[in-house]
Structure 1
Amino acid sequence: MNTSNRENNNLIENIKEHKELIAALLSGFITLLAWRMESNGLITAAIIAYLSAFVIGGYAKAKEGFLDTIENKTLNVELLMVLAAIGSSIIGYWTEGAILIFIFALSGALESYAMNKSHREISALMNLQPEEAWLVRGTFEPMKVPVSTLKVGDHLLIKPGERIPADGQILKGTSSIDESAISGESMPVTKQVGEHVYAGTVNLNGTITINMTKPNSETLFQKIINLVQSAQSEKSPSQQFIERFEGTYVKFVLLAVGLMLFLPHYLLGWDWTTTFYRAMVLLVVASPCALVASIMPATLAAISNGARNGILFKGGVHLEQLSALNLLAVDKTGTLTVGTPTVTDIIVREDLNEKDTIATLASIESQANHPLAQAIVNYAKKEKINTIQGIEIEDVPGWGLKAHDQNHSYLVGKPEFVGKLEATNFANNAAEKLAEEGKTVIFMKDERGIAALVAMKDTVRDEAKVAVKLLKELGIEVAMLTGDNEKTARTIASEAGVNKFIAECLPETKVNHIKNYLQTYRNVGMVGDGINDAPALATASVGIAMGGGTDVALETADVVLMKNDLSKIAYAIRLSKKMQKIVKQNILFSIAVICLLIISNFIQVVDLPFGVIGHEGSTILVILNGLRMLKL
């Protein structure tokens, strides 16, 4: 019984989804029957059948047109089609009017199908969310419960092959996770105890137990769905202009039709039937259906394409702006480079014990979150050097750390922070040589002067080198912004293939550099980690956050890369350029068809059925052309 009910429900859903197409086809069938009746002399029956075809085929579009007119207080193309069909029937062209309704209804059904095709990406994403999960409580056997009943702190068992039902942290087990639904990356990622996993991703081979860290409404997966839905509902400037233009254009068409109802009769000697008929044809062929459909399907398809590849656009406006970029400014750490530097050299003042000095430095840095600080802490752990308790620190953003214990005070950071002259002279100017090798150098200073020097190096990502090359091929200059000194910055820039760079750049000064670039290049993109670089991201024409699978990045920037892969930016720009090309093709094609049909109507070489085919056919073609954006 349950299976039968489910099949019936599916049948009802399918009928609802395709009701426009069913109504259009039924209208066409009735029109064919009415034409046969008219051919056999059954005039009254034929007219009744034609009226039925009008109502069945035109009801949905007529209702849409009237409601839209009342809501927005402006005319639209649906009303033009209804008026043309009514006008044709008034002068006795029942067949032409019915064909108009049939093709208009059919094109409307195909348009709805085409528009829904891009929205299906969201439905596909939503279907990836599990509805049930294995809940673990104490020593009891795991229970299968609805995901909607779960709460933060619950322990969940995920078996091999199952989708992860919630965001959480692994408590037990190791497994490979397919995160393609989040990042667009097909290669699995190995996750161990302590690492985070995300709802909607797939546990491939091991059994793991996770601690649920977020409610269902706040999971990264749900935020991605909400973001893409929001982007699809946000209209680009081009689409907004077309929709504003539509109302004015429809008024102009009605005015032109009104004039054509009379002027050709008096000026060109047309009879009243021909004059009225040609006015109705004008009403059809001059309608801007294809023009209105030139942008939105292509934009929605491009947004869906990006979401499928781990690129989230926060709206069509940002997608449009990407194609106009002339320069892309990129943060260095975590963007061009791996973001996890390692210690390569340590030089300690001769009167100090090296192990004790490293212990002090690591103790200070252990209280900071900067990648350089973590590199020093990891080095100390590797060398089995224990840290010291009781050292208090004060963070000086962009410069370094102040620290003190009961007996000593320290400064840790850049040469300018600890004293540039002292830093330069330390260890026979060793810092200069290390900087020329592309290493970042920091110093620790005590009461007697520079106590130690630590050199670290962050490696350039292989994909970053490829990405910079791809961006240059697209005609986009790349500039690197970094807090490193000029020599280190030059080395990293050279390795990455970047020609422009700004060294010793503080977080708060990045905004000023972006403003300067905007004056020179007009359209400038900024790539950062989505947190520290938020002001610069907001200042740029397009802000791009390297998400790395973190939901923090979703709150900043205009475009989010769900994986720290700079080459995705080149893909996004190509996507934007292709979309702009398709939109231009659609607009030029639709305007050309409208002009050709208007001229053909005026010289009486196109009749109403062919006018309808030309008009609605061009609408379908621009929609299908826009859907090419689903693939790049």
Structure 2
Amino acid sequence: MKKTLEKNHEHQHRDHHKISLILFFVGILLFLINYLLEESVLKTIFYLVGLVLSGYHVTLEGIEGTIKETKAQKKFTPNVHILMMIAAIGAVIIGDYKEATLLIIIFAGAHYLEDYATDKSKREITKLINLNPKEARLLDDKGNVTIINASEIKKGQLLKVMVGDQVPVDGIIIDGNSAFDEASITGESIPKDKTTGEQVFGSTINKTDVVIIEASNDSGQGIFDQIIKLVSQTQENTAKRAKLIKKIEPYYVKIVLVVAPILFLLGDFAFQWGTRESFLKAMIFLTVASPCALAVADVPASLSAISNLARRGVLFKGGVHLENLAEIKAVAFDKTGTLTLGVPVVTDVYHADKVSVEDLDILVAMEENANHPLAKAIIKYFSKTNAIDLEVKNLIGVGLSATYYGNEYKIGKPTSFKNSSDIVKGETKAFELQGKTVVYFSKNDEIILVIAIQDIENESAKAANIYFRQNNIDTIMITGDAENTANMIAKNIGISKVYANVLPQNKAMIIEDLKKVYGDVLMVGDGVNDAPALASASVSMAMGLGSDVAIDVADSVLTKNNLRQLIIAHKTSRKLKMIVWQNILFSLGVILTLITLNMFGKINMPIGVLMHEGSTLIVILNSLRLLKGVKWNYETLK
């Protein structure tokens, strides 16, 4: 019911906007026709009708806005529309019907263009929302397919995804393989090949073959749904500058309303301009002193930057967070899943001379029966030649054991083996000094393999570190991992400051200490244990494949787990800051120039309005440059 009412309201708003736009052009037509008419009552009527038709929309908007804000604030709270309305009425009073009509036509036209330009960035968000899947093919136990609404999908249901279909929900492929266009999630244009057991994401496009997936969650809880939720929040959370401008606007308008009659009185009695000239200059002052350009100095720029970043896989929950990112003096990174891939891999293997292909097949067979987190890394590294059926025993606190044709095999940590050669001890020590986890594989109590496993660094982490160091921003690692492991990863990436063996609650304390030293600090993390630190930081960013808690707490999200996106976000925040200040200084400069010219009688009403509204359009167009994003040279970060 609520959605229906919202849709009806939206349609009514569009219809009203179309009608007002048509009447606006009718008003312009009447204004132009007057150039063909001689001075007459009809010409005056055409000017007045043109004034009403072209300006009724912005006039009503100004009156309604003033009444609404006055009631809310419980004090007179005018907006810039009121200044223009009074100036137009003043021009009519002194008989300058042409100037009054032209004033309203230029102001209303600029208003429509401002709405169009501002909505351009919002439409990028709407496009994103429209990518949400609408239907799904539900597969029953008998293999029959039923078309259902995507919103009805439940976790565990089997869904058939045809070639060209959108994947309706996050899921795991249980049958088939295909290439998927994941541009809506990652921003990558090249389709990604996926096969049985791999995850697919809702809203992505199946490009090559039919697959069957099992829904990983209910509809509305997937990664794309989180993206829509986060991007939608951007319009509700404006930047501090925008809030400040909005806050001071009514005070500024009040000052202009007070100064205008004072200027009239001074002009008539002190400067001897004459009553008509003084009144006209007061009306021009009302027009050119209006802070239209200043009012749009921030919001269009923020929305343009945020919508552009959303397309590139960086989601901000509001302009204030993107604004704060430009001010950071230090970046604190979690290690696992942020600076590293978060998945252990086999990095080194020491082989004894007696290792056979059969021994390796037995190793893989044993690990296939294991449930410890390092098993997948070992299985992935060692290719299986023959499938071997084994009965594997899980020795709690030790590892795994199995017997095959009279030979006893064991997998476990180094401390569970008593007989190890000096060579094995040397290899083990070397690996452990590099922060790697070591696993032994023995045959009849003789160690035949020493396997080193480590969560390796995120390939993009080094580039991010170089970028921040080049920009005089310190990089710091905060991790609960062991000191040796943390220091080795930090050394490989280039991070000089490391906090290791840190408990989750202490991460937040470290962030608070860093803020005392640096001021604004960015925290980047992915886990539940990072949530307190993310909440404490000046700005926080979660990795998109991290925990829901981290994503909920953070101010922004990197959907691709690629820290190069962080570089793009920071460069965009700096460009946003630069453009907003350009807009503010330009707006104030134009206002002061026009007020000065008016005082010396160097401009008339039409020229004043044209220059004033032109400055507003220039500010908006300058803001829309952020829709193109930023460029940077990756080669400089190698």
TM-score range, shorter chain: 0.7 to 0.9
Match of 1:70? Answer: 67
* Letter paired with 2:113: L
Q: Supply the distance in 1 between the matched residues of 2:283 and 2:189 (Cα, whole angstroms).
A: 55
Q: Per the alignment, do residues 340 and 297 of structure 1 end up closer, same or farther by CA in structure 2, a change over 3 Å counting?
A: same
- Matched-pair contact (CA < 8 Å) for 2:345–2:377: yes
Superposition pairs of residues 267-346 of structure 1, within 5 angstroms: 267-343=270-346, 344=348
Match of 1:388? Answer: 393
Can you list the C-alpha shifts for 1:320-364, whole angstroms capped at 9, x where unaligned?
0110111111122222222222354699xxxxxx99xx99x9899
> Deviation at 1:23?
3.6
- Name the SS of the counterpart of 1:388 in structure 2: strand
> Does residue 572 of structure 1 match 2:569?
yes
> Deviation at 1:546?
0.9
TM-score, normalization by structure 2: 0.82
> Deviation at 1:456?
2.5
Fraction of identical pairs, as percent: 39
Q: Per the alignment, do residues 133 and 489 of structure 1 end up closer, same or farther by CA in structure 2, a change over 3 Å counting?
A: closer
Q: Supply the distance in 1 between the matched residues of 2:434 and 2:137 (Cα, whole angstroms).
A: 53
Q: Supply the distance in 2 between the matched residues of 1:241 and 1:413 (Cα, whole angstroms).
A: 60
Match of 2:198? Answer: 195
Q: Supply the distance in 2 between the matched residues of 1:602 and 1:309 (Cα, whole angstroms).
A: 49
Match of 2:497? Answer: 500
Q: Supply the distance in 1 between the matched residues of 2:533 and 2:546 (Cα, whole angstroms).
A: 21
* Letter paired with 2:536: T
Q: Per the alignment, do residues 460 and 233 of structure 1 end up closer, same or farther by CA in structure 2, a change over 3 Å counting?
A: same
- Name the SS of the counterpart of 1:92 in structure 2: coil
Q: Per the alignment, do residues 362 and 176 of structure 1 end up closer, same or farther by CA in structure 2, a change over 3 Å counting?
A: closer
- Name the SS of the counterpart of 2:342 in structure 1: coil
Q: Which runs of 5+ in 2 are unaligned?
A: 1-10, 71-76, 352-358, 400-411, 417-421, 441-448, 630-638
Superposition pairs of residues 102-121 of structure 1, within 5 angstroms: 102-121=105-124
Match of 1:41? Answer: 39
- Matched-pair contact (CA < 8 Å) for 2:437–2:453: yes
> Does residue 598 of structure 1 match 2:599?
no
- Matched-pair contact (CA < 8 Å) for 1:365–1:376: no
Can you list the C-alpha shifts for 1:578-624, whole angstroms capped at 9, x where unaligned?
00000000000000000000000000001100100111000011011
> Deviation at 1:152?
4.6
Match of 1:407? Answer: none
Q: Which runs of 5+ in 1 are unaligned?
A: 1-10, 348-353, 394-400, 403-411, 419-424, 444-451
Which has the larger displacement, 474-483 or 115-124? 474-483
> Deviation at 1:135?
3.0
Q: Supply the distance in 2 between the matched residues of 1:594 and 1:128 (Cα, whole angstroms).
A: 43
- Matched-pair contact (CA < 8 Å) for 1:553–1:560: no
> Deviation at 1:473?
2.5
Match of 1:6? Answer: none
- Matched-pair contact (CA < 8 Å) for 1:530–1:556: no
Match of 1:5? Answer: none
- Matched-pair contact (CA < 8 Å) for 1:157–1:208: yes
Question: Which of 517, 525, 528 in structure 2 is aligned with 1:531?
Answer: 528
Q: Supply the distance in 2 between the matched residues of 1:549 and 1:24 (Cα, whole angstroms).
A: 51
Q: Supply the distance in 1 between the matched residues of 2:603 and 2:209 (Cα, whole angstroms).
A: 68
Q: Supply the distance in 1 between the matched residues of 2:208 and 2:252 (Cα, whole angstroms).
A: 60
> Does residue 28 of structure 1 match 2:28?
yes
- Name the SS of the counterpart of 1:532 in structure 2: helix
> Deviation at 1:313?
0.2
Match of 2:583? Answer: 586
Q: Supply the distance in 1 between the matched residues of 2:120 and 2:268 (Cα, whole angstroms).
A: 47
- Matched-pair contact (CA < 8 Å) for 1:122–1:229: yes
> Does residue 54 of structure 1 match 2:51?
yes
Q: Per the alignment, do residues 541 and 114 of structure 1 end up closer, same or farther by CA in structure 2, a change over 3 Å counting?
A: same
Q: Supply the distance in 2 between the matched residues of 1:575 and 1:325 (Cα, whole angstroms).
A: 13
- Matched-pair contact (CA < 8 Å) for 1:31–1:49: yes
Q: Supply the distance in 2 between the matched residues of 1:114 and 1:426 (Cα, whole angstroms).
A: 70
> Does residue 217 of structure 1 match 2:220?
yes
Q: Supply the distance in 2 between the matched residues of 1:206 and 1:441 (Cα, whole angstroms).
A: 41
Match of 2:468? Answer: 471
Question: Which of 371, 374, 398 in structure 2 is aligned with 1:366?
Answer: 371
* Letter paired with 1:124: K
Superposition pairs of residues 396-545 of structure 1, within 5 angstroms: 432-440=429-437, 455-545=452-542
Q: Supply the distance in 2 between the matched residues of 1:340 and 1:154 (Cα, whole angstroms).
A: 28
- Matched-pair contact (CA < 8 Å) for 1:326–1:521: yes
Q: Supply the distance in 1 between the matched residues of 2:600 and 2:414 (Cα, whole angstroms).
A: 80
- Name the SS of the counterpart of 1:171 in structure 2: strand
Q: Supply the distance in 2 between the matched residues of 1:524 and 1:71 (Cα, whole angstroms).
A: 39
Can you list the C-alpha shifts for 1:375-415, whole angstroms capped at 9, x where unaligned?
57878997978653595x9xxxxxxx99xxxxxxxxx9999
- Matched-pair contact (CA < 8 Å) for 2:87–2:284: yes
Q: Supply the distance in 2 between the matched residues of 1:97 and 1:85 (Cα, whole angstroms).
A: 5
Match of 1:406? Answer: none
Q: Per the alignment, do residues 111 and 550 of structure 1 end up closer, same or farther by CA in structure 2, a change over 3 Å counting?
A: farther
Q: Supply the distance in 2 between the matched residues of 1:14 and 1:222 (Cα, whole angstroms).
A: 27
Question: Which of 553, 560, 569 in structure 2 is aligned with 1:563?
Answer: 560
Match of 1:177? Answer: 180
- Name the SS of the counterpart of 1:210 in structure 2: strand
> Does residue 619 of structure 1 match 2:620?
no
> Deviation at 1:110?
0.4
Q: Supply the distance in 2 between the matched residues of 1:430 and 1:485 (Cα, whole angstroms).
A: 19
Can you list the C-alpha shifts for 1:539-598, whole angstroms capped at 9, x where unaligned?
111111111387665323111000110111010000100000000000000000000000
Match of 1:398? Answer: none
Q: Per the alignment, do residues 136 and 233 of structure 1 end up closer, same or farther by CA in structure 2, a change over 3 Å counting?
A: same
> Deviation at 1:472?
2.2
- Matched-pair contact (CA < 8 Å) for 2:530–2:550: no
Q: Supply the distance in 2 between the matched residues of 1:441 and 1:556 (Cα, whole angstroms).
A: 35
Q: Per the alignment, do residues 522 and 12 of structure 1 end up closer, same or farther by CA in structure 2, a change over 3 Å counting?
A: closer
Q: Supply the distance in 1 between the matched residues of 2:85 and 2:175 (Cα, whole angstroms).
A: 65
- Matched-pair contact (CA < 8 Å) for 1:130–1:147: yes
> Deviation at 1:176?
1.4
Question: Which of 241, 248, 251 in structure 1 is aligned with 2:251?
Answer: 248
Which has the larger displacement, 433-442 or 163-172? 433-442
Q: Supply the distance in 2 between the matched residues of 1:554 and 1:601 (Cα, whole angstroms).
A: 54
> Does residue 554 of structure 1 match 2:551?
yes
Q: Supply the distance in 1 between the matched residues of 2:426 and 2:522 (Cα, whole angstroms).
A: 38
* Letter paired with 2:132: Q
TM-score, normalization by structure 1: 0.83
> Does residue 133 of structure 1 match 2:136?
yes
* Letter paired with 2:47: Y
- Matched-pair contact (CA < 8 Å) for 2:531–2:549: no
Q: Supply the distance in 2 between the matched residues of 1:68 and 1:20 (Cα, whole angstroms).
A: 17
* Letter paired with 2:39: G
Match of 1:8? Answer: none
> Deviation at 1:510?
1.8
* Letter paired with 2:90: G
Match of 2:90? Answer: 87
Q: Per the alignment, do residues 13 and 523 of structure 1 end up closer, same or farther by CA in structure 2, a change over 3 Å counting?
A: closer
* Letter paired with 2:569: A
- Name the SS of the counterpart of 1:545 in structure 2: strand
Q: Supply the distance in 2 between the matched residues of 1:476 and 1:458 (Cα, whole angstroms).
A: 26
> Deviation at 1:310?
0.5
Which has the larger displacement, 382-391 or 455-464? 382-391
- Matched-pair contact (CA < 8 Å) for 2:526–2:546: no
